[in-house]
Amino acid sequence: MATPCAEEDPLSRYRSPLVSRYASAEMAFNFSERKKFGTWRRLWLYLALAEKSLGLPITDEQIKEMEANLDNIDFKMAAEEEKKLRHDVMAHVHTFAHCCPKAAAIIHLGATSCYVGDNTDLIVLRDGFNLLLPKLARVISRLADFAEAHADLPTLGFTHYQPAQLTTVGKRCCLWIQDLCMDLQNLERTRDDLRFRGVKGTTGTQASFLQLFEGDHSKVEELDRLVTAKAGFKRSYMVTGQTYSRKVDIGVLSVLASLGASVHKICTDIRLLANLKEIEEPFEKEQIGSSAMPYKRNPMRSERCCSLARHLMTLVLDPLQTASVQWFERTLDDSANRRVCLAEAFLTADIILSTLQNISEGLVVYPKVIDRRIRQELPFMATENIIMAMVKAGGNRQVAKFLKEEVRPALIPYQGKMGGKIELTL
């Protein structure tokens, strides 16, 4: 079979399913080339504005020219420049300068590549959290509605996936909600703890900016504060190398991995309950459960969440390993890895939250099935009450427990046939 030219047939090129199949348009845009390089240009503008306000010879005309071309990005030219220069930042400096000839001399003035690279990453991480947090809050709200609606519906509890004592459908849902509330708190804290890299120079010493401002330390510090504020951050990291500490990425992906664990547990519970036919996720009118078995109602949404949550949980290994091998002020073996793991973590978290919201808005409960299972196990649950009643009457609990094990086989023939209220007398 002939291989079609990629330019003739876009579908002949691999596209990440996280973007083409799953994640929201908003999260996909957050990690897009347009967002990235548009942010680079805004950071160059913030730098120029701050430098101008502190006395460097930058004109209003140069500023206006930069402002007019923030989104006028010639991606084809940038790609050609990068192919020639083998440097993505300088390729975009040249591309920006091409449409801003008057401002060309002051674009990226005094800055290093990480000024745009790392600061953009921090903006994108912050904005990614801002997209995830409302989705997580909505899931919690939907599950809270479900828990309240079924707060009084008894159901058989399970420990070790073996029948235990009774709980309620709503109470079990509260276990899910509590985990997600922890995740909400962790995501908020991690977002709020993010700082800006700021204007720090090639090794974090700000030497180039000290030279620009003729050794005036106060102006260099003010430059850092001004640009940080323009980017929407309250604080910048006080100490950096060429990059911000890669331990920041560990913290970001750790809370997302923890969210993945919560979602995996919730959706596993739903899958098990679907097998018991007690609770089901939404099942569309024309949905097909199996190509060969039309009666099947596979919990496909919950399965998708579990599948993607496993991927999310493993991604935290990347920043752990990256942070451990950053030599001295930095080494470039972090770059390619971070391009993949940071974006994939947020894209994956985005789709599992959207899917979990869909599940939580359409959970179906089957009370009669739940009641039947309770009745099947009721004789065995009653033995615990028998033990307590025997002890209250003066018996020995350890002897009573032994009797429980003796009584259990005798109750098996009555499994599922003991309805109504049980009155215990001794």
Give catalytic residues, as residue numbers.
160, 290
Give the CA distances from residue 13 to residues 3, 8, 205, in Å, rounded to whole numbers and listed in that order.
Answer: 11, 10, 44
What residues contact residue 306 under an 8 Å CB cut-off, 6+ apart? 263, 264, 267, 268, 271
Of 372, 363, 141, 332, residue with least CA distance to 242:
332
Query: Do 385 and 164 contact (CB within 8 A), yes or no?
Result: no
Query: Do 369 and 153 contact (CB within 8 A), yes or no?
Result: no
251/244 Cα distance (integer angstroms): 13
Partners of 75 in the beta sheet? none
Of 254, 239, 37, 28, residue with least CA distance to 127:
28
Q: Which DSSP string corresponds to 31-58?
A: TSHHHHHHHHHHHHHHHHHHHHHTT-S-
Is residue 167 helix, strand or coil?
strand
What residues contact residue 366 under an 8 Å CB cut-off, 6+ apart? 277, 278, 279, 280
- The distance of Cα 372 from the centroid of its chain, to the nearest Å, equals 39
56/333 Cα distance (integer angstroms): 35
Of 173, 153, 158, residue with least CA distance to 370:
153
Torsion of CA 414, 415, 416, 417, to 10 degrees: 10
279/19 Cα distance (integer angstroms): 31
Partners of 236 in the beta sheet? 196
Query: Do 23 and 344 contact (CB within 8 A), yes or no?
Result: no
412/294 Cα distance (integer angstroms): 35
Torsion of CA 331, 337, 343, 344, to 10 degrees: -160
